[in-house]
Amino acid sequence: MHNHDHDADAHSLIAEDPELSFYAKRAAAIEALLIEKGMVTADNIRRRIEIMDSRTPAVGAQVVAKAWVDPDFRTRLLANAKAAVAELDIEVESPNLVAVENTVGIHNVIVCTLCSCYPTVLLGASPGWYKSLEYRARVVVDARGVLREFGLELDEEVQVRVYDSTAEMRYIVIPQRPDGTEHMSEEELAALITRDSMIGVARARTPAGEMES
């Protein structure tokens, strides 16, 4: 592994580690060169890594839970998601963020057909299947079939909408609030909201903690 020296800018090259992949070695060499040229510092990189590591689906779950309990916030989120999440001190780096809401008659699912664009600030690191060619190619032509493979069976009358993310546009799904949660606190509700439900390949958990299908 490559351990960052938090007390100095001097880095040993990751390329010297035989266990790392070609791309990891290449990234390490570029990192070392940028530090050598004074364009970045080891501390800059360390702090950036810490920010990336702090991004988890709990951030997006906080947003969804607030939308569930606060109708005014929900309205603002649907109208301008980037501005709405900024109210919670969440800064989205992509130029545009759109929140799409699942309802009784509409189910939304997110994909990036070109690569793996994804709202990491809200959902944390993207899962491997999201980046796979199979998911990216199939969900746009057979969304119901793909969702079925995730264990999500939708009634025929439910309209499925697929949203294609780009470098300029990211999406987050607001899953339907489960029945029987009327008296739960915002914090308790957030525990029911998973990464997959905010991508759209699952529903939010039931109060008992089991995934609906």
The catalytic residues are 112, 115-117
CA 30 to chain centroid, in Å, comes to: 27
CA 95 to chain centroid, in Å, comes to: 16
Neighbouring residues of 71: CB distance < 8 A, sequence distance ≥ 6: none
What are residue 174's phi and psi, to 5 degrees? Answer: -95, 100
Angle at 55 between CA 129 and CA 162, to 5 degrees: 40
* Integer angstrom CA distances of residue 134 from 61, 66, 109, 170: 27, 34, 15, 20
